[in-house]
Structure 1
Amino acid sequence: MYQHYLNIDDETAAAYYQYGLEALKPFLPYNLYENSHLLFFLDEKPIVLAKWQDSQLKPVKVPKLWGINFDHNLEQTFAVHDLLDDKIQLLCITGNAGTGKTFISLLAGLYQTRKHKFNKVLFTREPLSVGQHIGILPGSAEEKIRDYMKPAFDNLLELTDNDLSFSDLLNERLVEFEAVALMRGRTLTNTFFIIDECQNFDVHVAKTLISRAGKGTKVVMLGSFKQIDNPRLSKDNNGLARVIAAFSGQPLFSHVVLYQNERSHLAQLADELL
């Protein structure tokens, strides 16, 4: 488990304000994973966001990314912190539809690519939709890929402003899109590699994709265990779940679960009720 929600009393809060994060160490859960996130509450109000890293508590603070801040969504704050953290080379972000997994991943990837931390953002997702396979769609392979990448294009259009236009992203080759089937044999260096819909992969595909990572590459795997479209997979045996189980405790790995729906109240109800 990588997210911990802990209640503290007035005395502990006063000690924190006087001595800092060291005052909270006695309240830490036993045997914390490296890169675990901790949210401390006082009277049901969150007062401290922290991460357990290098055997110490570190504060979790993130900058605004193109004017967007994440103070209203604490789990997204944890996720963005990990997306910007050089020590984390493999990050899994899970959560229901509409929690912002794709949006914040693209945002953080493009932010860092613009600062020359990575050469590009590479986005891929399984070419499997609800009730369809890629062969059903008309057009060339490139046109089919573009159709299946529409969720990413939708998110990129939200990011566009005077400083960051969609055409600039494509013209500068800051972001590329590729189908999963075309990834075998590639070596990705200095790449921010986003893999979407990972709940629809088996463990073999997940391993193949992660092992594309070369020097300077960060792998971000996204998925929702409520949206498994592959009838051969379950919430326990899909590739994303297997990756989380296998990598838990590794210093280069982290996992964040998003809960707050950012799309709409209707979308949230549909996810909860259906």
Structure 2
Amino acid sequence: MKIYVLDTNVLLDDPKAIFAFEENQIILPLAVLEEIDDQKTKTSSIGHNARETSRILDNLREQGRLDCGVKLKNGGNLRIEINGKDFEPPEGLNAAKKDNRILSTAFYIQKENPDQKVILVTNDINLRLIADAFGLKAEQYRSNRLNDDDIYTGSHEIKVPAELIDRFYQNNALELKEFKDIDKKIYPQEMVHLIAVDQKGKSALARFNGEQIVPFLFSKASPWGIKPRNKEQKFALELLLNEDIKLVTLLGKAGTGKTLLALAVGLSKVTDEEAYKRLLVARPVIPMGNDIGFLPGTKEEKLQPWMQPIFDNLDFILNQSNDSSFSFDYLVEKNLIQIEALTYIRGRSVPNQFIIIDEAQNLTAHEVKTIITRAGKNTKIVLTGDPYQIDNPYLDKHTNGLTLLAHKFHNESIAGHITLVKGERSELARIASELL
């Protein structure tokens, strides 16, 4: 049996983490409970998870004293360690810091159980480094962590005989059984690039609708004058314009056009087609849930610095449009567009709207769930982000809510995903993104 000492950030990420370690012993240092208590009043997902952790521990308390240990349903054992608080940390570490108190508890547990494997579980990179430097095994919490192979790209390149591409254009469909050598499974709404192996330059772009490989429905579309510049942007437009697809996730580095395309389609669907009542655009005020009341001015003036990238994209789209009667002020006045901090969406029900959540790579899985469950009838949600530009200190490209969402939904026909790879902002921006 192993002994796992959990850091606070593990429970703030997943309150049910104490049930994820099978038939092993779970230790919560007293400092963890103090940090949980410090976070419980926050209105963000961290506050929600802190309160949920407290509720779970309170329910377990009914089974017995937590400092003596209680049995878990999975066969494990949970105990709150209060003795370790008096154990001196290694020389050079400040004993007053809660992180070092947690480390001290782990060292105390290791000293008291020399014949058992003691592991500190933390999402804090520096704490893992310090633990390792002093000979204590440390791991990242992996319950919500994807492997590189699990990260879904949303597109599939298949090499086929030229004759099969001809048949695709003639019949407007191909059955999966007609492909002999597919190296991996194709998921609903996945984009397919057919490339002829026996005729140079011959290819076709298509989509798997869950049953057949079919042609694009919107290959000629240019919403509000925005035309796709590469195949990934064509893939993205195919997903964005299809009203049967209610959830779209777009990943890509800066300058790949993910936010621009989403805004152009949203404006087109709201103003030209009237398919939705309003375009709602939101970004997290980093960190999500923090109050912006300390900034001067009205709510709109406070949001200006956070939303400027959205305004820049809207300004570019409006300048591309042939209809000079549309302006940002007109769209706001007619209630056709609404720009919010993500904090203000919490608790709402949002029907009949085209919703764009920008910078979604900074969201946790719970925050993404909170957003998706706001969707009312006839609402489409688009989440965009760059998994290589994450500001949340406890998230990375394998654990952020956007990447997890794309992975969880890749087998659902109601959802689509694409990873954009080519920068189109400018030649300078593309080179800088690759070299710097």
TM-score calculated relative to the size of structure 2: 0.58
Instruction: Classify 1:133/1:267 alpha carbon distance in 2 versus 1 (closer, same or farther; 3 Å).
Output: farther
Write the distance in 2 (CA, Å) between the matches of 1:251 and 1:191.
Answer: 20
Q: Corresponding residue for 2:414?
A: 252
Q: Aligned partners of 2:383 and 2:368: how far apart in 1? A: 9
Corresponding residue to 2:212 among 46, 56, 79: 56
DSSP 3-state at the match of 2:378: coil
- Give the corresponding residue for 1:216: 378
> Match of 1:180, as an amino acid?
L
Decide which of 157, 160, 181 is 1:8's aligned counterpart.
160
Segments of 5+ residues of structure 2 without an aligned counterpart are 1-151
- Superposed, 1:58-97 pairs within 5 Å as 58-62=214-218, 63-70=221-228, 72-97=229-254
Residue 184 (structure 1) shift: 1.2
**Identity over the aligned pairs, expressed in percent?**
38
2:368 is aligned with 1:206 = yes
Find the structure with the greater CA-based Rg. Answer: 2
Q: CA deviation at 1:77?
A: 1.0
Partner of 2:313: 155
- Distance in 2 (CA, whole Å) between partners of 1:250 and 1:122 is 24
Contact 1:16 1:24 in 2 (8 A): no
Match of 2:190 among 36, 43, 47: 36
Q: Is the 8 A contact 1:225 1:235 kept in 2?
A: yes
Name 1:104's counterpart in structure 2. Answer: 261
| RMSD over aligned Cα atoms | 2.3
CA gap of 1:44–1:146, structure 2 versus 1, over 3 A, is farther
1:119 corresponds to which of 277, 299, 304: 277
Structure 1 distance, partners of 2:294, 2:434, is 30
Q: Tell me the equivalent position of 1:239.
A: 401
User: Which residue of structure 1 lines up, in the alignment, with residue 304 of structure 2?
Assistant: 146
Structure 1 gap ranges (5+): none
| 2:225 partner SS | coil
Instruction: Kindly indicate whether the alpha-carbon contact (under 8 Å) linking 1:12 and 1:24 is maintained by their aligned counterparts in 2.
Output: no
Higher strand share: 1
Q: Secondary structure at the match of 1:66?
A: helix
Deviation of the 1:237 alpha carbon: 0.9
8 Å Cα contact 1:91-1:254 kept in structure 2: yes
How far 1:44 sits from its partner (Å)?
6.0
Partners of 2:330 and 2:300 in 1: CA distance: 20
Cα deviation 1:5-60 (Å, max 9, x = unaligned): 12223333344454443377522735321111101123563631111114122211
Q: TM-score, normalised by structure 1?
A: 0.90
Contact 1:201 1:240 in 2 (8 A): yes
Task: Indicate how the Cα distance of structure 1 residues 44 and 67 shifts in structure 2: closer, same or farther if over 3 A, else same.
Answer: farther
Greater Cα shift, 150-159 or 11-20: 11-20
